[in-house]
Structure 1
Amino acid sequence: MIPLTAGNTRVKEARKLHRRSVRTERRCFLADGPKAVEGALGTVLASGQDCVVEVFATPAAASEYADLLGAAPLTLVDDRAMSGLSDSVSPAGLVAVCRFLDAPQPTAPRLLTICADVRDPGNAGTVIRTTDAAGGDAVVLAGDSVDPYNPKTIRATVGSLFHLPVGVERDAAAAVRAAQAAGLTVLAADGAGEVELFTPAADELLARPTAWLFGNEAWGLPDELAALADHRVRIPILGAAESLNLATAAAVCLYASARAMMNG
């Protein structure tokens, strides 16, 4: 098989999926790198279709990851074509064109993460990965949050995007109300919260089915959105640091919930 070049029509059409508007129109996205491709190849959609439409690989990557690719629909491309398909500084040589996942939200979740106006793809991807690691059931990217199919978001999930449902809700308040309607106690992570994590009062709350609500990286949660939560919970700052970043705060809160559930 002769590798396709950057000027090939199929390569150029796939490259357009770097744009959110094109992803939304075609309902396809790019999964970049071996971990993302592995997760995509192991995913079958609710419709019965395979998640992966096509895998582009350089000859060197196709040889290196031959066991992973197996019977995948494989197309070889040259290095220049791959550099246009991948947004990584050092491409691994594997990019898959995937169908939107459209995984249904769980009917009886125990642990849910709601991200409101989280705009950094690395942060969003890390929160998805952390929710997965902590045994969470789903993530909702609410308000003006980053696209879950942004290539940087997908890479930061390290495959977790394919392990649990990730929903999008433009109305952050509606996401909070939907969680409450599903029987979840909504806890807003807030540095000025009335409940301190790692206290008996917090432990009592965490024993219930919970939705954690996290805000924007720079300005946190708007007061009107935090007010919709059932409780505001603060992480104690024991040293001189002003605060924790979003991904770290989410990890602390989600694992506190995981611990409570394990002990419950």
Structure 2
Amino acid sequence: MTNPRAERVKQVRALAQRAVRRRAGAFLVEGPQSVREAVAEAAEHVRDLYVGPDAADRYPDLVTAARHAGVRVRPGTADVLEAMSPDAQQLVAVVDAVVPDRADVLAARPRLVAVLSQVRDPGNAGTVVRAADAAGAGGVVLTGASVDLHNPKVVRSTAGSLFHLPVATGGELADVVVDLRAAGLTVLAADGRGSHDLDDLLDVAGHAPAGVPDLTAPTAWVFGNEAWGMSDDDRALADAVVRVPIRGRAESLNLATAAAVCLFASARAQR
């Protein structure tokens, strides 16, 4: 491919728009790390892989792996890849937008789940997916009011973790909580106004007194909106509300940072 104004190039670039993604049933995966994981974990869903000359030289193993997996590899000039995505380091994959059903995710009886409720920032959402993957979580759920999972910034922020664990979307938080409890998960809301201190819960993990959450139990952590946190009604849905202790002078923690702290606390307790 040599023409950056070709119709196919425009179609690929347009997948940055949510409405176009919905119509096409596909999304963009950009950059070597994310593309590598898409090829390794979901090659059957990769429609096309577009590769620029520099990327072909730098990542020959990735291109070879894609071809061996049956992925259609389309070479293009540097101008073509730049027109598709300036952030992709000349590697762009078009991937089927396959999202697992929440019931199927919970049917696997995960011991650790992250729930994003009205999380709107794509960087935060993607980073929480990445942190959940790193902590060994069994899944992530984004409520219907959260950012689109296949927003390019979300996908990039997951750094390939999107292809490592199931991420379900949709539904009201109240319905999600009902399903979480039915799957045997304790539901903990992370909020700076929580009545339980995360460090205290770690101290009693495995022998928590009555009325105190036990972090060794299967747990779903609910994280709220970046700007206003969780409403009183949403906090009331949880079995307990937990705060991350602030030892220094910081006013608060970034949502993704707080989520990573909570998820790793549960992962440590469960192990």
Give me the TM-score of the superposition, normalised by structure 1.
Answer: 0.91
CA distance in 2, matches of 1:106, 1:163: 16
Q: Is the 1:43–1:51 Cα contact (8 Å) retained in structure 2?
A: no
The amino acid that maps onto 2:128 is: V
Matches within 5 A, 1:239-254: 239-254=248-263
Matches within 5 A, 1:27-38: 27-38=25-36
Q: What SS does structure 2 have at the residue aligned with 1:123?
A: helix
Q: What SS does structure 2 have at the residue aligned with 1:232?
A: strand
Displacement of 1:202 in angstroms is 6.2
CA distance in 1, matches of 2:225, 2:86: 24
More helix per residue: 1 or 2? 2
Uncovered stretches (5+) of structure 1, i.e. residues with no partner: none
Displacement of 1:74 in angstroms is 1.1
Is it true that 1:69 corresponds to 2:71 in the alignment? Answer: no
Q: Which segments of structure 1 move beyond 6 Å, counting only runs of 4 or more?
A: none
Residue 78 of structure 1: aligned partner: 77
Q: What SS does structure 1 have at the residue aligned with 2:199?
A: coil
Moved more, 72-81 or 236-245: 72-81
Q: Is the 1:112–1:138 Cα contact (8 Å) retained in structure 2?
A: yes
Is it true that 1:154 corresponds to 2:148 in the alignment? Answer: no
The amino acid that maps onto 2:137 is: G
Q: Is the 2:2–2:79 Cα contact (8 Å) retained in structure 1?
A: no
Q: Is the 1:141–1:167 Cα contact (8 Å) retained in structure 2?
A: yes
Displacement of 1:69 in angstroms is 1.2
Residue 96 of structure 1: aligned partner: 93
1:95-153 Cα offsets, whole Å, 9 max, x none, are 00001233441421100000011111111011000000000000111132111111111
Residue 105 of structure 1: aligned partner: 105
| Compared CA separation, residues 226 and 189, structure 1 to 2 (3 A) | same
CA distance in 2, matches of 1:152, 1:87: 13
| Compared CA separation, residues 106 and 180, structure 1 to 2 (3 A) | closer
CA distance in 1, matches of 2:19, 2:9: 18
Displacement of 1:234 in angstroms is 0.8
Q: Is the 1:52–1:97 Cα contact (8 Å) retained in structure 2?
A: yes
Q: Is the 2:50–2:93 Cα contact (8 Å) retained in structure 1?
A: yes
Is it true that 1:140 corresponds to 2:163 in the alignment? Answer: no
Q: Is the 1:190–1:220 Cα contact (8 Å) retained in structure 2?
A: yes
Q: Is the 1:53–1:97 Cα contact (8 Å) retained in structure 2?
A: yes
Alignment RMSD:
1.5
Give me the TM-score of the superposition, normalised by structure 2.
Answer: 0.89
CA distance in 2, matches of 1:234, 1:16: 41
Q: What SS does structure 2 have at the residue aligned with 1:118?
A: coil
Q: Is the 2:106–2:183 Cα contact (8 Å) retained in structure 1?
A: no
Displacement of 1:188 in angstroms is 0.2
Q: What SS does structure 2 have at the residue aligned with 1:97?
A: strand
Q: Is the 2:190–2:243 Cα contact (8 Å) retained in structure 1?
A: yes
Q: Is the 1:188–1:213 Cα contact (8 Å) retained in structure 2?
A: yes
Displacement of 1:24 in angstroms is 1.5
The amino acid that maps onto 1:151 is: P
Identity %: 47
- The count of residues paired between Structure 1 and Structure 2 equals 254
CA distance in 2, matches of 1:113, 1:97: 27
CA distance in 1, matches of 2:139, 2:154: 16
Of 16, 19, 22, which residue of structure 2 is paired with 1:21? Answer: 19
